[in-house]
């Protein structure tokens, strides 16, 4: 998702997505270590999504946006 779409969501929804993304990253890392992951770009995509979510949640905590 893009920043604009994420910023429109509630903080609780963002935290839920963050939790799901962490679980997805764990599963992808597990599949990568067992050589079952076909597309390694998925790891990068999920990591970036986690970073986006952390950024937006932190902005809200600080009252920036």
Please write the tens of the pLDDT for every residue from 19-40. Answer: 999 999 999 999 999 999 999 9
Question: Which residues neighbour 6 within 8 Å (Cβ) at sequence distance 6 or greater?
Answer: 14, 52, 53, 56
Reported as a pLDDT band with limits 50, 70 and 90, residue 52 is: very high
Q: Which residue has the tokens 């920043």?
A: 3
Q: What is the DSSP track for 20-50? A: HHHHHHHHHHHHHHTT--S-THHHHHHHHHH
Residue 1 has pLDDT above 90, yes or no: no
CATH number of residue 34's parent domain:
1.10.287.310
Span 34-56, average pLDDT: 95
Q: How far is CA 65 from the centre of its chain?
A: 19
Question: The whole model's pTM is what?
Answer: 0.89
Number of domains in the chain: 1
């Amino acid at each position: 998702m893009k920043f604009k779409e994420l910023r429109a969501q509630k903080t609780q929804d963002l935290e839920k997505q963050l939790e799901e993304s962490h679980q997805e990253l764990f599963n992808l890392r597990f599949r990568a270590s067992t050589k079952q992951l076909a597309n390694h770009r998925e790891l990068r995509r999920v990591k970036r999504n986690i970073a986006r979510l952390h950024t937006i949640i932190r902005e809200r905590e600080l009252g920036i946006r």
